[in-house]
Amino acid sequence: MNTHTYQPGRLPVLMSIPHLGTRIPADISRTMTDAAMDLADTDWHLDQLYAFAADRGLAVLMPEYSRYVIDLNRAPDGADLYPGADNTELVPSSTFARQPLYQDGLAPDAAEVARRREAFWMPYHDRIRAALDGMVEAHGVAVLFDCHSIASHVPRFFDGRLPDFNLGTAGGASCHPTLQTALAAALETHGADYTLAVNGRFKGGYITRHYGAPARGVHAFQMELSQITYMDEEPPFIYRPDQAARVQPALAAMVDAAVDWVTGRG
């Protein structure tokens, strides 16, 4: 079973887009609700929005399957991402709008969660680890860009409208401070019309926190982009090229800042 697509790059920078997938296996979809089939919480169109990344030399990793099957950005043991806050699970039980994902009595049990972890979660993370290890071996350093988007208003997780750019580095723990500074400066300079938060509501998920290990040469950051900047936030979630063209220069500057930083150190 092909669970993901990996495009190698020429530079020690990996872009992971863990919530891009939209497939749901038939045996799972039969247990799910109509709300699940809308796939509303997908990180829509990020492969299209960041199509320039591969041309800049980044490696790109994209899953085939939806986060409703299993969330690739959650800990394998199901530990809460933000303790004390509202969290969605390793295998989510509800949408961001609190709609049940499973029909009554058909939610996955512990054995099914373990099966999905082995079938879908592990291959993606094995690929991340292999890619980063190869970059560090070849270049002495690697940067992991965990790429996300979310609706601008999600009352379940935050009040009001989310900032447009949400840069997360696990409170500064997942990358060198000079990389965080360079990324934020690029967004501020080239995205003056947009709002920016650094380590605000979104500090980075499991991928950023787990793989970001500056002492071992791996520097990770997450960008949680507000979807209002590039697409329609209501079904059918249409990509808007005019909006995308306005925000892409800032995103490209952020990516270029990561590339300049890593090539200057490697």
Where do the domains of the chain lie? 4-265
pLDDT interval class at 265 (50, 70, 90): low
Residue 266 in this model has a pLDDT that exceeds 50: no
Q: How far apart are CA 207 and CA 145, in angstroms?
A: 9
Residue 190 in this model has a pLDDT that exceeds 90: yes
| Helix ranges, the chain (H) | 26-29, 34-37, 46-49, 52-55, 110-116, 122-139, 177-190, 206-211, 241-265
pTM of the model: 0.96
Q: How far apart are CA 47 and CA 247, in angstroms?
A: 14
Label residue 162 left, alpha or beta by phi (over 0 means left) and psi (-120 to 50 means alpha): beta
pLDDT interval class at 114 (50, 70, 90): very high
- Considering the domain 4-265 in this protein, what is its CATH number? 3.40.630.40
Judge contact between 168 and 202, C-beta under 8 A. Answer: yes
